[in-house]
């Protein structure tokens, strides 16, 4: 199973840092209403990233559980549920 990671190389880190610096400089040119809009959008992105990371962690934790079951289809999962409750 492929594991999702957020590891970056030193070159990638430098590229990200350079982009952050460009964003910081651009912020100085924005009007207050645009700053407000940008703040709302960044807050939205942070919440989205937080939910995504939680989902990835829960998925990986579930896959590592010895009782984890994997099905090839929804129908197969539903059949297992029906059989389990009998």
35-82: pLDDT as tens digits: 999 999 999 999 999 999 999 999 888 888 877 788 899 999 899 888
Contact present, 80 and 69 (Cβ < 8 Å): yes
pLDDT of amino acid 2: 44
Does residue 52 form part of some domain? yes
| pLDDT at residue number 6 | 59
Between CA 54 and CA 37 the distance in angstroms is 26
Query: What whole-number distance in Å separates Cα of residue 43 and Cα of residue 37?
Result: 10
Does residue 5 sit within a domain? no
Domain that holds residue 65: 10-84
Within a domain: 34: yes
Total-model pTM: 0.60
The pLDDT value given to residue 83: 87
Cβ atoms of 77 and 71 closer than 8 Å: yes
What domain count does the chain have?
Answer: 1
Query: Is the model's pLDDT at 1 over the cut of 80?
Result: no
For residue 20, pLDDT over 90 is answered with yes
The region, left, alpha or beta by phi > 0 then psi within -120 to 50, assigned to residue 38 is alpha
């Amino acid at each position: 199973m492929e594991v999702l990671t957020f590891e970056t190389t030193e070159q990638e880190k430098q590229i990200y840092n350079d982009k952050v610096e460009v964003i910081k400089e651009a912020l100085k040119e924005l009007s207050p209403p645009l700053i407000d809009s940008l703040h709302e959008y960044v807050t939205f992105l942070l919440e989205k990233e937080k939910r995504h990371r939680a989902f990835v962690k829960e998925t990986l934790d579930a896959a590592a559980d010895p009782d984890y079951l994997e099905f090839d289809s929804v129908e197969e999962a539903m059949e297992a549920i029906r059989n389990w409750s009998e």
